[in-house]
Amino acid sequence: MPSSQHLLLKQFLTAATGPLARSRPRLPAIRFAAEAAALFQFVPWNVFLEDADVDGMPAEWLRPAGAPAERVLLYLHGGGYVIGSLNTHRALVGALAESCQLNTLAINYRKAPEYPFPAALEDARLAYDWLLNQGYQAHNIMVAGDSAGGGLGLALLLQLRDDAYALPAAAIGLSPWIDLALPTAAIQRQACQEETRVLEALEMQTWGSLYAESTSHAHPLLSPVKGKLHGLPPLLVQISDAEVLHDDVVRFCRKARVAGVPVTLQVFGGLVHWWHLFWRFVPEARQALRQVGDFTRSIWVAQQPNSPAKAA
């Protein structure tokens, strides 16, 4: 059963749905509200912030004290490809960097509708290439993202594989959006009713089309669940069974396993989408981040020549 802190969060989101539905805020107002909310977010203690320039793209490092210099996490924030920034996700990325004990590069990739597909993917690829040019080895890089950022990270893997490019050690998707066509059946599920009302109030169903523009939603670099999933590195995927995205995520994981990809799927019960963002007061979010840290450490252990995973 979800914690009392999560129930309070859910009540707050439910209470906000009515006013949002009546006002029907436009995208600029939603962006402004997201940035304003970020003013009250702070990175964890002993995680140090450093500005970065990725060949002209704004970015920043979040460096936990004692993190190994040779390993890095590339983080792609969520926001439906239309909102979100370094500001909105800084606290979450800092907490994730701390849990994984990895120097983490977060990028401010371009957003739709001003910059539709493939702009965000081009920026993610730019960041990955930049890390390689900085001297990081592909087997010492991991890619992570939440929501749309999770889908973007998986699209990056598909592109790298198809280009016969060096793949990262692993990828992490926190409630990844992997099919731009939101599933009608999932939206109608009773467990998803509160989330569906938020989707409708903010008109989020239109965000995928803003990013896709003239490209089919079924393009695998827009909707990775539609692609061929062979040859990918180990994946960790976290999802809640109360999310609209749940069914697509489970389908993706099954398809990836059939294709021979090592997949760790962690399903949480009854939580809202983006529960990871509320890690400061929602214990399920802290638990999820700890599990991400455990996963990353297991990947590094498996890389060791005489590790139990290698021997198996």
Burial state string for 176-188 with b = 16 or more CB within 10 A and e = fewer than 16: bbbbbbbbeebbe
- Active-site annotation, residues: 147, 243, 273
DSSP 144: E
The alpha-helical segments, DSSP class H, found in the chain are 4-23, 27-37, 86-100, 119-133, 148-162, 184-188, 193-201, 207-212, 246-258, 283-303, 308-311
Longest Cα–Cα distance in the chain: 61
Nearest-angstrom CA–CA distance, 58 and 60: 7
